[in-house]
């Protein structure tokens, strides 16, 4: 015999009669946005004010040590220009923008989330921050405005590749601070990179490694000893603790301490370009020689409602300052 039930495939859309027509919807107020949005490179950088579309800074160095000595009674007959080795580095400001609009009807109806202009504005800001993060980590080179092409800032990937014609060789990132092994980098190679950074300034640096997922996993294995002849793996274990920690957040080397943080995986340059999904990029950053210069701070602007609904945009204009490329390293 016929029964009343909740299923009626003909009701798509509701154009027929049936018992399910009167059923109420059960739509909760929970809204989930599943997307990585952390911005460690942007968040950890020192913030400074920019006053022009091209931001510059000066680098200098010391002469090599000498053990030659000076003869007794020798006069000073030649003189050294102590500032001959100075160089000026720079980067262009880049403008970022995300727009938003909510129709007048959508603003009026009751919705999950809710889907109002304030929420649209907040979401646009979150997207804008990811745009900035991806550009900081990018391999982009700097670019002047031409009218047809916008200003673009040089990203970390390009700053640290050791191949910039505008940076004198003595201030470029040394080849030993550039590791191309990606997620295959072993602990010896990892320490070689840290040592190279130490040799640039002679300081036991407090470094920050912004590492994508595959690279982070490889570094975690440094705490473990793989056995090549059996399936047993030995781990470092504190007998007074009931848990075994297999992650590495602080790496202490002979040449400095490295704090390891997760890169936002969608901002990896290879991921952005679609070239690879290896997720093995990493930037070894010395925070003392790295900063963000803001010409226009991140903010929101509302545009006139022309009848269709509330609208506006969020934007900012900033650039990356890498004050001494030799003070940093890269894994790619």
Percent of the chain with pLDDT over 70: 81
Write down the pLDDT at residue 241.
56
Work out the pLDDT band at 18, boundaries 50, 70, 90: low
Mean pLDDT, residues 75-87? 95
Write down the pLDDT at residue 296.
97
Tens digits of residue pLDDT in 222-231: 865 544 444 4
3-state helix, strand, coil in the chain (%, to 5): 25, 25, 50
Residue 201 has pLDDT above 90, yes or no: no
Tens digits of residue pLDDT in 291-321: 999 999 999 999 999 999 999 999 999 999 9
Identify which of 42, 324, 36, 46 has the alpha carbon closest to the alpha carbon of residue 210.
Answer: 42
Cβ-count burial of 132 within 10 angstroms (0-12 exposed, 13-18 middle, 19+ buried)? buried
Write down the pLDDT at residue 228.
47
Write down the pLDDT at residue 229.
47
Q: Where are the alpha helices (DSSP H) in 22-116?
A: 40-44, 104-108
Write down the pLDDT at residue 245.
53
Comparison of pLDDT for 277 and 290, the residue scoring more: 290
Work out the pLDDT band at 110, boundaries 50, 70, 90: confident
Mean pLDDT, residues 172-181? 96
pTM, to two decimals: 0.84
Tens digits of residue pLDDT in 19-76: 666 666 665 656 556 566 789 999 989 999 999 999 999 999 999 999 999 999 999 9
């Amino acid at each position: 015999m016929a029964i009343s039930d909740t299923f009626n495939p003909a009701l798509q859309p509701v154009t027929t009669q049936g018992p399910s027509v009167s059923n109420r919807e059960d739509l909760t107020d929970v809204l989930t946005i599943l997307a990585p949005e952390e911005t460690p490179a942007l968040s950890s950088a020192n913030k400074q004010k920019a006053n022009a579309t091209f931001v510059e800074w000066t680098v200098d160095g010391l002469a090599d040590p000498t053990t030659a000595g000076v003869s007794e009674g020798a006069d000073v007959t030649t003189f050294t220009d102590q500032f001959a080795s100075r160089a000026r580095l720079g980067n262009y400001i880049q403008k970022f923008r995300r727009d938003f609009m909510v129709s007048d009807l959508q603003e009026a109806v009751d919705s999950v989330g809710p889907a109002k202009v304030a929420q649209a504005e907040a979401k646009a800001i979150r997207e804008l921050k990811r745009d900035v993060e991806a550009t900081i980590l990018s391999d982009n080179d700097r670019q002047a405005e031409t009218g047809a092409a916008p200003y673009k800032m040089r990203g970390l990937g390009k700053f640290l590749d050791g191949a910039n014609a505008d940076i004198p060789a003595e201030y470029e990132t040394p080849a030993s601070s550039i590791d191309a092994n990606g997620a295959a980098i072993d602990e010896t190679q990892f320490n070689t990179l840290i040592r190279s950074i130490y040799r640039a300034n002679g300081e036991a640096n407090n470094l920050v490694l912004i590492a994508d997922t595959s690279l982070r996993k490889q570094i975690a294995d440094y705490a473990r000893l793989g056995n090549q002849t059996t399936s047993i793996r030995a781990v470092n274990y504190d007998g007074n603790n009931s848990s075994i920690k297999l992650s590495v957040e602080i790496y202490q080397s002979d040449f400095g301490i490295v704090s390891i943080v997760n890169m936002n995986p969608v901002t990896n340059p290879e991921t952005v370009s679609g070239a690879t999904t290896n997720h093995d990029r990493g930037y070894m950053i010395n925070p003392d020689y790295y900063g963000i210069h803001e010409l226009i701070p991140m903010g929101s602007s509302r545009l006139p409602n022309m009848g269709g609904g509330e609208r506006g945009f969020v934007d900012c204009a900033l650039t990356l300052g890498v004050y001494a490329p030799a003070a940093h390293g890269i894994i790619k």
